[in-house]
């Protein structure tokens, strides 16, 4: 938002570009563009992101976050959109030295190569970085850009206050690839099923269990996740939910034919996370997408060892 404001202040039109994948979305970018009064477009880069995640040239961060390669992918995708958007160059809000691994000078140089031809401008640190084409050609006045560096955000916060920017979120978080629990499930998924886009979407929701037969069970943690899981269910999946007092909705998915034992274990997961605590047996509704519900009885089992 600050980088965009510095460019807007020079009378230059700005269009916000956001990217989405199973690991992050573009809602924050859209809200930022709305607050700045600029147009906004979003691109889904799921398949490209899976390729980057599988073999990042610059490695991972603490977990499965290939930040440098991810940023380069975003910049290169934006570069490919310049003609479509009638744009001349790319602006990002990166700050030299703000993140020790992904925003050091080498990482910034690696990301900039994704734009090619010196078309990536970083207004917040521009005076500390080599001159770019927009500055050299006089499209942008370099003297009105900034020279911020380091991990402190004091200058940025003061600048945000001066511009009257509010509603911005913490710069940390927002990407599931930085979360230990999600990355544990992600590694497990690669071992059993691979990183297929629709499976990655399912991974974002609920508690996950791996059955001895190779099937997967997902238990919704709240009403919103229950609704999402029901929408994500596809032909061949089974759904379970307590018949009397609906609690967690459970989805059972298996690449090959589901067995009776698979259904028993999925039902046990549903009982475990129902609103009836400590009961040995419980009436459940069981159904497949598009089919009528059947009432079955589930028995309690120890499913703790199956949780991913």
Asked whether the CA dihedral 219, 223, 229, 230 is positive or negative, the reply is positive
Task: Decide if 32 is inside a domain.
Answer: yes
Local structure of residue 131 (DSSP, 8 states):
P
* DSSP-based three-state secondary structure for 116: coil
Q: What DSSP line would sit under 195-242, residue for residue? A: --HHHHHHHTSSEEEE-TTS-EEEE-SSHHHHHHHHHH--TT-EEEEE
Q: Among 176, 192, 214, which residue terminates a domain?
A: 176
Asked if 229 and 203 touch (Cβ cutoff 8 Å), the reply is no
Task: Decide if 299 is inside a domain.
Answer: yes
The answer on pLDDT for 108 being more than 70 is yes
Could you report the per-residue pLDDT of 203-242, keeping only the tens digit for each?
999 999 999 999 999 999 999 999 999 999 999 999 999 9
User: Do residues 219 and 151 both lie within one domain?
Assistant: no
Could you report the per-residue pLDDT of 130-164, keeping only the tens digit for each?
999 999 999 999 999 999 999 999 999 999 999 99
User: Do residues 103 and 234 both lie within one domain?
Assistant: no
User: Do residues 54 and 102 both lie within one domain?
Assistant: yes
User: Do residues 171 and 215 both lie within one domain?
Assistant: no
Inter-CA distances, 108 with 124, 155, 230, 296, Å: 13, 20, 42, 58
Q: Among 156, 176, 196, which residue terminates a domain?
A: 176
Task: Decide if 199 is inside a domain.
Answer: no
User: Do residues 149 and 226 both lie within one domain?
Assistant: no
Rounded CA-CA distance 83/305 in Å is 53
Q: b/e string for 279-298 if b means 16 or more Cβ within 10 A? A: eeebebbbbbeeeeeeeeeb
User: Do residues 163 and 215 both lie within one domain?
Assistant: no
Rounded CA-CA distance 283/273 in Å is 13
Task: Decide if 104 is inside a domain.
Answer: yes
Range of the domain at 297: 205-306
User: Do residues 90 and 168 both lie within one domain?
Assistant: yes
**How many structural domains compose the chain?**
2
Note the pLDDT of residue 255: 85
User: Do residues 49 and 144 both lie within one domain?
Assistant: yes
Task: Decide if 52 is inside a domain.
Answer: yes
Task: Decide if 158 is inside a domain.
Answer: yes
Note the pLDDT of residue 179: 93
Q: Among 176, 196, 215, which residue terminates a domain?
A: 176
Asked whether the CA dihedral 167, 170, 89, 51 is positive or negative, the reply is negative
């Amino acid at each position: 938002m600050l980088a965009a404001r510095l460019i807007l202040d020079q009378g230059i039109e700005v269009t916000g570009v956001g990217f989405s994948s199973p690991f992050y979305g573009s809602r924050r970018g859209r809200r930022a563009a709305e607050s700045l009064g600029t147009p906004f477009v979003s691109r889904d880069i799921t398949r490209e992101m899976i390729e980057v995640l599988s073999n990042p040239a610059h490695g991972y961060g603490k977990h499965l976050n290939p930040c440098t390669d991810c940023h380069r992918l975003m910049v290169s995708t934006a570069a490919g959109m310049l003609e479509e958007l009638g744009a001349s160059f790319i602006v990002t809000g990166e700050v030299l030295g703000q993140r020790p691994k992904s925003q050091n000078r080498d990482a910034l140089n690696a990301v900039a190569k994704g734009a090619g031809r010196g078309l990536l401008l970083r207004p917040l640190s521009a005076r500390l970085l080599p001159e770019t084409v927009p500055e050299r050609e006089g499209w942008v006045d370099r003297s009105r850009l900034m020279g911020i560096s380091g991990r402190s955000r004091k200058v940025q916060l003061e600048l945000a206050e001066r511009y009257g920017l509010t509603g911005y979120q913490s710069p940390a978080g927002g990407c599931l690839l930085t979360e230990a629990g999600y990355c544990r499930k992600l590694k497990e998924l690669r071992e059993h099923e691979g990183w297929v886009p629709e499976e990655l979407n399912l991974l974002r929701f609920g508690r996950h269990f791996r059955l001895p037969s190779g099937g997967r069970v997902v238990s919704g943690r709240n009403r919103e996740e229950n609704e999402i899981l029901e929408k994500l269910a596809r032909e061949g999946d089974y759904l379970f939910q307590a018949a009397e007092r609906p609690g967690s909705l459970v989805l059972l998915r298996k690449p090959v034919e589901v067995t009776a034992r698979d259904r028993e274990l999925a039902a046990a997961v549903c009982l475990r996370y129902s609103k009836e605590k400590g009961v040995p047996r419980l009436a459940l509704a069981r159904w497949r997408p598009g089919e009528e519900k059947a009432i079955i009885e589930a028995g309690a089992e120890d499913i703790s060892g199956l949780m991913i």
